[in-house]
Structure 1
């Protein structure tokens, strides 16, 4: 089955030519020239492949200042920097197109391989196709973020890299996934987001904090508020063991937009096993989705009871 066609945001016309921020004069105290001037780029493109969430970002600078570098700061200092910059006027616009491969694969298997899907039902709350592919409630999305961006690389070194974002995000799509079934639904999502990925030769740290609302065009899908936390750490080299090393978690709670009562909980914890001499690791996340009967109504309703689904999510982390 072909993936439903994506809408494309028209990007404004601009030049991709690089400009240089004027460099300082020779340091009179040391007699040495300053480090090379920061390179300014009007547009940067970032591609992030993943089995569950693959995205391409187009980062457009609204000013002529380079992306600030915070690579030498601690994790707590990075959070403080992003939060302090969140109050500033947006200096960057980020266009993002994302696809969720495994969630869409679950839809494909249920629609085109019904025998395989039925045989995957091990118990009332465990279907291994759902367990592998559940999580994201849409096959793809288009997003626009207005906010601020920081770079985690260290000036003069290519070993530390990554980007952090803070700002306001608006996303749209026209399909919703429920129980591995595609439902036509023109949804809109507005959120405030703090997100980052910092990678060095010894570890990779990723995090995401989000609060927002999702409005559905389908009358039988409940409009929600949500709060989400995610943190993941991958250690390529370990001198000592710790519970926080090579582990991660994600928790999202959805609230009824009218009554603020919880209608959905999504929770996973993961463990990572680094591959020797490679900056990659095998990852296994275990968790659950607990959904109340109020989440859907009409023909989409699950009945009067809560719906519970186990999650088993293998992946490769880079």
Structure 2
């Protein structure tokens, strides 16, 4: 089928490579630079919950500035496909569309961000020439000029302020990723609501099944709640949970989730599409 030529490059782009300062991924790709600071190294394999509390405490004492340029491929490519004759081929049922499901939760094609906080590089004390991940914490200021909703793009300048604790950590036994943030987003268009939101994301991959210290092994959870800035009324709830299964040396994940929208964030009747 011809429409697969649009989907296959996106799905198999995957995580081509990820390293300190840049990452290519189908959902979130970025290029970042740390200004005015030398690298902060964190050694050892700390207890996961205790490590989160250390990050939270350190986030309130900024000492570094990070600049990031981000791009969201699935959201942008879904918008491009919507402009073609192949878009309807991705609709499975009246209430289920493949591209809408893949891009759910991603509302911008790109962004520029400034983090005022701290960046930690993780290493093992006996393997000092190899990184085992990176952690970010502090206050994030982001802005952009486009919004995407239901695979349609709209022109609207936006500005976002977040408190964030985020990172990825590899050890010999497991890999875990986390992203906790509280923020507010303002729109230049009065046809799009300003929102207050809270997000929790945590993902674990267990390499050694006998390792007993792992918390919720091979489980992925993402939760995002949005409220209206004007009156704190409920707007939407996003929830996604996934369970990983190992087959030989590979991991496969089965995910289930929903996006409940109580109030519209966009006034489609009067908002001009790109």
Normalising by the smaller structure, the TM-score range is 0.7 to 0.9
For residues 1-318 of structure 1, the aligned pairs below 5 Å read 45-62=20-37, 66-88=39-61, 90-112=62-84, 114=85, 116-158=86-128, 161-239=132-210, 244-274=216-246, 276-277=248-249, 281-297=251-267, 299=269
Q: Cα RMSD between the aligned structures?
A: 2.4
Larger radius of gyration: 1
Q: State the alpha-carbon separation in 2 of the partners of residues 54 and 172 from structure 1.
A: 16
Q: Judging changes above 3 Å, is the alpha-carbon distance between structure 1 residues 138 and 260 closer, same or farther for their aligned structure 2 residues?
A: same
Q: State the alpha-carbon separation in 2 of the partners of residues 248 and 161 from structure 1.
A: 20
Q: Judging changes above 3 Å, is the alpha-carbon distance between structure 1 residues 300 and 206 closer, same or farther for their aligned structure 2 residues?
A: farther
Q: CA deviation at 1:276?
A: 3.6
Q: CA deviation at 1:70?
A: 4.3
Q: Number of paired residues?
A: 251
Q: Judging changes above 3 Å, is the alpha-carbon distance between structure 1 residues 97 and 178 closer, same or farther for their aligned structure 2 residues?
A: same
Q: CA deviation at 1:219?
A: 2.0
Q: CA deviation at 1:93?
A: 0.8
TM-score by length of 2: 0.83
Q: Is the 8 A contact 1:92 1:147 kept in 2?
A: yes
Q: Is the 8 A contact 1:146 1:167 kept in 2?
A: yes
Unaligned runs of 5+ in 1: 1-43, 302-318
Q: State the alpha-carbon separation in 2 of the partners of residues 51 and 282 from structure 1.
A: 17
Q: State the alpha-carbon separation in 2 of the partners of residues 246 and 68 from structure 1.
A: 27
Q: State the alpha-carbon separation in 1 of the partners of residues 42 and 263 from structure 2.
A: 47
Q: Is the 8 A contact 2:118 2:137 kept in 1?
A: yes
Secondary structure at the aligned position of 2:269 is classed as: helix
Unaligned runs of 5+ in 2: 1-18
Q: Is the 8 A contact 1:235 1:274 kept in 2?
A: no
Deviation >4 Å, runs of 4+: 240-243
Q: State the alpha-carbon separation in 2 of the partners of residues 60 and 218 from structure 1.
A: 33
**Cα deviations by residue, 1:1-46 (Å, 9 ceiling, x for unpaired):** xxxxxxxxxxxxxxxxxxxxxxxxxxxxxxxxxxxxxxxxxxx952
